[in-house]
Structure 1
Amino acid sequence: MLMRLADERATGAFLRDQGVLYLAEGHVVHAESPSAPGLDVLLTVGGTLPAQGWQDALTRAGARHEVGRDLVGSGRVAAGELELCHLGALFDAAFFVLGPASGPTHFRYGVTHWFGQVRPVPAAAVEREARRRRALLDSVWPCPDVDTAPVVPRPPAPGQTVTGRQHAVLRLADGIRTPTAIAWALGRPTFHTLVEIRRMAAAGLVETPQAPDPAPALPLSPLPASLDCAEPDIALLRRLRDALEAHL
């Protein structure tokens, strides 16, 4: 449907359960998703724009659909910074909007976004990037459950290094925040946070969510004390399995 709308050079809102893509003459000009921090968060929390500066621009230019132009014209945000943040927010939200579990699709012709256009992106490029990102996540750590579960940190092994970006994530990994909540708190795109968390899951720095063990059909006799053993390191076992499979 998105490709058909692009061929039609349609203008309007492409709506799914996980968010909205805004099209102008068949190009994607804006995207929003509850799973991805918006441009306001990227600029104010992750960038240099004061929150009041964002609100002032919204008040002055929101009704004219020229918030982006106002931010640049007032000198609060450089044109290059705005473009980079806008593209980051667009591709981040589109990743979730175009996900396989995003539900039915609707399109409302003629709808435009209050922010205004910054750099239109071909719909085919947006769809292609969403597929590339899904493949990248699976190549890093093929366990999608870690994307939505609260993150539980584990202490690094002796000599194991942790990057600055990973330190920032781990500081917020309290067993309550999900990767999306951590991304909002850091003012970073959610996809980038998912990549870091999957890398840390592969390295054993965070716990990977496990399905509950099924109840046994029959009661089991207790093991003798001499056979008691510690819980296996599931993350380590999975890394060993993946390494073995990669060399088969």
Structure 2
Amino acid sequence: MTTAVPTDATAPALLGSLAADRATGALTTASGVFYLSAGQVVHVESALSPALGDLLTRSGAVAPDGWWDAVERAGARHRVGRHLVDSGRLTTGALELCHLGALFDAAYFALTHDDRPARFRPGVAHWLGAVRPVSVETVLSESRRRRALLHRIWPDPAVDTAPLVRAPGADPADLPPRRGRTLALVDGASTAAQIASALACRTFHTLVELRRLAADGLVTPAPPPPAAAALPGPGAPGAAWDEPDTALLRRLLDALEAL
């Protein structure tokens, strides 16, 4: 079942209304999905931010086999997070810390654009399950804080989402370690989310470094590809994003739910 929400309201306003109603379900925005339980945010996803599973497995906190075992065993019961703790693969504190970081990172992107109607699906729960619910006001306040901080460093938000290129002569060896590691992954095709995922680093930390690099003139958004090359074929060089097309999957899911 899909419940219509006012199309003239912003995503923050819709979240505020859902919080006041103590709603449970999923609010889909232009850039992500908020999962709520009793009016609190329990998870956020965005294709512009690395998923929790990527952060846990690429950092070595959880072995890939252990992560997928938890998804397989507990996903249908919406208890993947709880299973990771109960099986001894992760402590409660480590799970909460990583989950909150991923939640706030995804929320930053999910609140960036309000250029299409949002939709709320009541009763929908994420397979991860509730880890540490966060109030809507906390999520909105943290997103505003991050946006203001990034704007002070460098005001062009294109750095957050576009593939990035290095300036000629930009050398990672000349920079502080974290910034140098970030610059080393700027290859003309990778976005901030891909760089963060490769570093097993929270997106916001990566955005801070990339905006600093942009402010120093060391990185810029890549120019758009020629029209003929805009859609590379299978296996074409430069097709850097190898994750599933979540927008397509979401449209397929919505179509199935509408049947």
Partners of 2:174 and 2:180 within 8 A in 1: no
Is the Cα–Cα contact under 8 Å of residues 150 and 179 in structure 1 kept in the other structure? yes
User: Taking every aligned residue pair, what percent have the same amino acid on both sides?
Assistant: 54
Residue 175 (structure 1) aligned to one of 169, 173, 188: 188
Match of 1:4 in 2: 17
Please show how residues 46-195 of structure 1 align to structure 2 within 5 Å.
Answer: 46-101=59-114, 103-154=116-167, 155=169, 161-195=174-208
Amino acid at match of 2:202: P
Partner of 1:173, secondary structure, is coil
* Unaligned segments of structure 2, at least 5 residues: 1-13, 225-259
Show CA shifts across 1:194-237 (max 9, x none): 111001111233246689xxxxxxxxxxxxxxxxxxxxxxxxxx
Alpha-carbon distance in structure 1 between the residues aligned to 2:134 and 2:140: 10
Aligned to 1:19: 32
| CA displacement at 1:19 relative to structure 2 | 1.1
Look at both structures and tell me which one has the larger radius of gyration over its CA atoms. 1
Instruction: Report matched runs for 1:196-235 at 5 Å.
Output: 196-207=209-220
TM-score (normalizing by structure 1) = 0.78
The alpha carbon displacement at 1:37 in A equals: 0.6
User: What TM-score do the two structures reach when normalised by structure 2?
Assistant: 0.75
Tell me the amino acid that sits aligned with residue 61 of structure 2: T
Structure 1 gap segments, 5+ residues each: 212-248
After the TM superposition, which of the residue ranges 41-50 and 18-27 deviates more from structure 2? 41-50
* Letter of the structure 1 residue corresponding to residue 214 of structure 2: A
Question: Secondary structure of 1:121's match?
Answer: coil
Runs of 4+ off more than 4 Å:
208-211
User: How far apart are residue 57 of structure 1 and its match?
Assistant: 0.7
Secondary structure of the residue aligned to 1:28 is strand
SS at match of 2:164: coil
Q: How many residues align?
A: 209
**Alignment-mate amino acid for residue 70 of structure 1:** H
Counterpart residue type for residue 46 of structure 1:
S
The answer to whether the 8 Å contact 1:96/1:102 transfers is no
